[in-house]
Amino acid sequence: MENLLAARAQMALSLGFHIIFASIGMAMPFLMAISHYKWLRSGKQVFFDISRAWSRGVAIFFATGAVSGTALSFELGLLWPKFMQHAGPIIGMPFSWEGTAFFVEAIALGLFLYGRKRLPRWIHWGVGVVVGISGVLSGIFVVCANAWMNNPAGFDWVNGQAVNIDPMRAMFNPGWRTEALHMILAAFEATGFAVAGIHAFLLIRSRGSVFHREAFKIAMLVGAIAALLQPLSGDRLAKGTAQHQPLKLAAMESHFETSTYAPIIVGGIPDKKTERVRFGIPIPGLLSFLAKDDFSAEVKGLDAFPKDEWPPLVPVHIAFQIMVGCGTALAGLSLLFLFFLFRNPSRLAHKRFLMLAVLATPLGFLALEAGWTVTEVGRQPWIIYGIMKTADAVTPMPGLQYPFFMFAVIYVFLFGVVSWLMLRHINAVAQDYPSSANEDVHA
Amino acid sequence: MLDLVTNQPITLWIVIGFLAVSLLLYCLLGGADFGAGVLEIFLRKRQRVEQHKIIEKAMGPVWEANHMWLILMVVILFMGFPEVYSLISIHLHLPLTAMLIGIIARGCSFTFRHYDAKKGRSQKSYAVFFIFSSVWTPLCLGIVMGSLIPGGIHPVYATYREGFIDSWFRPFPLALGLFTVCLFTFLAAVFLIGESPAGEIRTSFTRRARVASIVTVLAGGVVFFAAQLDDIILIPRFLHSAIATACMILATISLPFFWMGLRKEWIWTVRSLAGIQVVLILSAWLWIQFPVLVHLPGGDLTLFNSHAPDRTLFQLAAALLVGSAFILPSLFYLFQVFKLDEED
């Protein structure tokens, strides 16, 4: 295995692993806070139980997210020392803010998880909200750094050195707003539907359980709101990409020739040699509209760029299709959910609807991983777009395949253990709250 | 030298201050958490369950926060001293990766053990991972620290061994790793005395604290011996600096008082003394190292010649100051809720 490839594989693996836990860390505190709030306001025990059951699961995800995040802060240097040497002084800013937010989050989490009996009720609730807010903030800061890699700003590149560094301008680069919004929504969408799916499954198993019904509703509502806002944020992001990274957009859409009335190609496999997409269904004009708000606008194709700067076309195009496909499915499910919720609540407990929710369990996370694949693979061969190639940033230490294999084993093992722990946790919850027979809720 | 020190901008000093304080606090607070894991090796069957509970209760709410000091150090290094971060990352890749694996294993196994919905046979496996990684991680941390001394890193290298192994696989870094494990165990034992109820269990932690203090002193001797083996002129360097010598002398003469406090079970006296001793030892080391961050054959990387541009330093210092306005009060609240409450 080539050194560069091994380093990229290890980075992709570590990020792909961490992002799951980080997303849950952002969204779950808010889910818990909603349930907790309902308990504090209504006094209904079931909401307290939901928040408590969730928090025990969350503790596991949090710890895994914290340590895999620590690993990443080192891996950036271990794998890409040349990148960090130049980028550190420029984008250290969001990282230092992220460190602060993460610190506050860890403190608040300790208080929240262990302070149930020690803290006054509302303070305990407030601490839970702080966990969520600092989680979201640290997510935004990290995405700022990533957005800078896509839209480098805040420095001048002179003879291979960064001069006139302005960390503030680097942090608030042209891409940060759209990218951060897209990521935060994705975290809420993925987590909301995953949690809802689990409770839908348990609801099918033990019909009429108030515990699972209420938990399902809270999670579904959060996921649905995010899923319906997400296409709007995606549209903004696509326009930004068209402006700042036209090559990435062309790769995402497999748009080979610069043209007006540019089509969006649904599905299909791009072929770099023939510069054609096989099996795809083109929808004329839609890409022009997506990129420039005008069906007739000219959109730059891959042919506008030297071939050796093209990112790998197949993974980027397919990942983009997966992301959009999952997102569309979830948005459809969200509309259905909201329709039932306001028009016909009894339908929410209908078995077929619950089955749909169960099927949707992994879609949010699938979309999230696919989205990161689009943005990261789509930027290749650059690590800092237009400034530094990934190949020039990799550590000179030979034999990187061994750390990669080791991390692969560790993360696969950890993933297995966490899944197994979740199954045990879910089973325990299912046993604790089997049915509604003697629950004191009249909702 | 004095000129060099006085001519630096205040922002650099703020950044250096945070770097030093983060290192100290990580060793004190994070160190005690690591040491608690090491101590689990020595738990006797009869008291295991109760001592386990004490360790969980002491670590549970705070370990993630204590761990953040390490992240802060990393962030300060790569934003404030990017060349140092890059150089360390390249040449100490192996021990750093080993340390990461320890960090991952320890955090996960500790949390999994506590939050597993069923307390069954799996508890034993978590304990094995937890104990092993509690020894492994500080060992690697000490090795990394020990590699920053003269003759450690070779930025120009001919072979893989010279570039990536010789820098850390030598007597001195290994001895420092061993010393770090002992020191952290010592801290944990002293800390846990106050966390346990008076009686048999407290006495057992007191005994462990005494043993750990003696072992740590011996390990300190091993460090000096290993330095000799490695041709590092450690003792003259200490003697050359009045402050470093004073720190070491103070740490030594406080030992008998510490032992007396142990016998009387004066909790806050032994805690403070143990904390002060660790601070003194680290300060002595930082002092003889100052202002060098990494010793290199072709010219050392120092705090003054490898820092980021002024604007970056200014914004980093500002971020650290504003950040601590959020962190310190909440950290104080955390410790107040879980640690100080016991007193009343």
Which of B13, B26, B138, B144 lies closest to B84, judged by CA? B144
Element (H, E) at A161: strand A161-163
Long-range contacts, stretch B219-227, CB < 8 angstroms, 24+ apart: B219/B175, B219/B178, B219/B179, B219/B182, B219/B183, B220/B179, B220/B281, B222/B175, B222/B178, B222/B179, B223/B172, B223/B175, B223/B176, B223/B178, B223/B179, B225/B175, B226/B171, B226/B172, B226/B174, B226/B175, B226/B176, B227/B171, B227/B172, B227/B175
Chain B's closest residue to A403, CA to CA, is: B97
Structure tokens at A323: 């992301």
DSSP conformational letter for B30: I
Q: B172-210: per-residue pLDDT in tens?
A: 999 999 999 999 999 999 888 888 887 888 888 888 889
Facing A114 at nearest CB: one of B61, B82, B93: B61
SS3 content of chain B, % helix, strand, coil (to 5): 80, 0, 20
Residue-level pLDDT at B122: 84
Facing B309 at nearest CB: one of A57, A118, A165: A165
How many independent structural domains does chain A possess?
1
Residue-level pLDDT at B332: 87
Interface test with B, best of A3, A24, A107 (most B CBs within 10 A): A107
Residue-level pLDDT at B184: 93
Convert A210-243 to b/e letters by CB count within 10 Å (16 or more is b). bbbbbbbbbbbbbbbbbbbbbeebbeebbbbbbe
Q: Is A121 exposed, middle or buried (0-12, 13-18, 19+ CB in 10 A)?
A: exposed
- Is the CB of residue B187 less than 8 Å from the CB of residue B215? no
Residue-level pLDDT at A438: 45
Share of chain B above pLDDT 90, in %: 23
Mean pLDDT computed over B159-169: 86
Q: How many CB atoms lie within 10 A of CB B150?
A: 17
**In chain A, which stretches have pLDDT less than 70?**
1, 434-443
Share of chain B above pLDDT 70, in %: 97
- Which of B:103-132 have CB within 8 Å of A? 103-104, 106-108, 110-112, 114-118
Which amino acid is it at B262? L
Residue-level pLDDT at A303: 87
Cα–Cα distance measured from residue A167 to residue B325, given in angstroms and rounded to the nearest whole number: 21
Cα–Cα distance measured from residue A378 to residue A310, given in angstroms and rounded to the nearest whole number: 8
Q: Is A279 exposed, middle or buried (0-12, 13-18, 19+ CB in 10 A)?
A: exposed
Which of A393-397, B60-64, B94-98 shows the lowest mean pLDDT across its residues? B60-64
Phi, psi angles (nearest 5°) of residue A156: -115, 140
Instruction: Please check whether residue B214 touches A, CB under 8 A.
Output: no
Residue-level pLDDT at B160: 84
Task: Look at A397 and B88 and tell me if their CB atoms are within 8 Å.
Answer: no
Which of A381, A424, A371 lies closest to A15, judged by CA? A371
- Is the CB of residue A290 less than 8 Å from the CB of residue A270? no
Residue B267 has pLDDT above 90, yes or no: no
Q: What is the 3-state secondary structure (H, E, C) of A383-413?
A: EECCCEEHHHHCCCCCCCHHHHHHHHHHHHH
Cα–Cα distance measured from residue B134 to residue B138, given in angstroms and rounded to the nearest whole number: 7
Structure tokens at A207: 């019909």
- Which of A:102-141 have CB within 8 Å of B? 102-104, 106-111, 113-115, 118-119
Facing A114 at nearest CB: one of B60, B79, B89: B60
Task: Look at B327 and A104 and tell me if their CB atoms are within 8 Å.
Answer: yes
Residue appearing with tokens 């560790």:
A410
Residue A339, SS3 per DSSP: helix
Interface test with A, best of B112, B123, B314 (most A CBs within 10 A): B112
Residue-level pLDDT at B2: 63
- What is the per-residue DSSP string for B300-328? -EETTTSPPPHHHHHHHHHHHHHHHHHHH
Element (H, E) at A338: helix A313-343
Which amino acid is it at A202? L
Task: Look at A118 and B110 and tell me if their CB atoms are within 8 Å.
Answer: no
Q: Is the peptide bond before A396 cis (omega within 30 degrees of 0)?
A: no
- Is the CB of residue B138 less than 8 Å from the CB of residue B177? yes
Instruction: Please check whether residue A406 touches B, CB under 8 A.
Output: yes
SS3 content of chain A, % helix, strand, coil (to 5): 75, 5, 20
Residue A360, SS3 per DSSP: coil
Task: Look at A60 and B107 and tell me if their CB atoms are within 8 Å.
Answer: no
Residue B298, SS3 per DSSP: coil
The ipTM, to two decimals, is: 0.85
Mean pLDDT computed over B258-267: 85
Which of B140, B20, B73, B71 lies closest to A73, judged by CA? B71
Q: CB neighbours of A290 closer than 8 A, spacing ≥ 6?
A: A235, A238, A239, A242, A264
Neighboring chain A residues of B331 at a CB cutoff of 8 Å:
107
Residue B233, SS3 per DSSP: coil
Which of A49, A57, A48 lies closest to A28, judged by CA? A57
Q: Looking at the DSSP assignment, which residues form a beta bridge with residue B101? A: none
Query: Structural domain of residue A181, as residue ranges?
Result: 3-432
Interface test with B, best of A10, A18, A74, A433 (most B CBs within 10 A): A74
- Which of B:146-185 have CB within 8 Å of A? 160, 163-164
Element (H, E) at B217: helix B200-229
DSSP conformational letter for A120: -
How far apart are the CA of A176 and the nearest CA of chain B, in angstroms?
19
Cα–Cα distance measured from residue A28 to residue A128, given in angstroms and rounded to the nearest whole number: 10
Residue-level pLDDT at A434: 62
Q: B129-148: per-residue pLDDT in tens?
A: 999 999 999 999 999 998 88
- Is the CB of residue A226 less than 8 Å from the CB of residue A326? no
**Residue A438 forms part of a structural domain:** no
Q: Is A120 exposed, middle or buried (0-12, 13-18, 19+ CB in 10 A)?
A: exposed
Please state, rounded to an integer, the average pLDDT across all residues of chain B.
Answer: 86
Neighboring chain A residues of B160 at a CB cutoff of 8 Å:
398-399
Cα–Cα distance measured from residue A410 to residue B102, given in angstroms and rounded to the nearest whole number: 11
Residue-level pLDDT at B341: 53
Neighboring chain A residues of B320 at a CB cutoff of 8 Å:
96
- What is the per-residue DSSP string for B94-149? HHHHHHHHHHHHHHHHHHHHHH-SS-STHHHHHHHHHHHHHHHHHHHHHHHHHTTS
Which of B191, B204, B203, B200 lies closest to B55, judged by CA? B191
- Is the CB of residue B296 less than 8 Å from the CB of residue B151? no
Instruction: Please check whether residue A169 touches B, CB under 8 A.
Output: no
Interface test with A, best of B115, B128, B301 (most A CBs within 10 A): B115
Q: How many CB atoms lie within 10 A of CB B18?
A: 23
Residue-level pLDDT at B342: 52
How far apart are the CA of A92 and the nearest CA of chain B, in angstroms?
5
Which amino acid is it at A374? V
Residue B343 confidence class, pLDDT cut points 50, 70, 90 = very low
Mean pLDDT computed over B69-81: 89
Residue-level pLDDT at B1: 59
Cα–Cα distance measured from residue A89 to residue B79, given in angstroms and rounded to the nearest whole number: 5
Cα–Cα distance measured from residue B280 to residue B249, given in angstroms and rounded to the nearest whole number: 9
**Residue A384 forms part of a structural domain:** yes
Residue-level pLDDT at A192: 96
Residue B65 has pLDDT above 70, yes or no: yes
Residue-level pLDDT at A227: 95
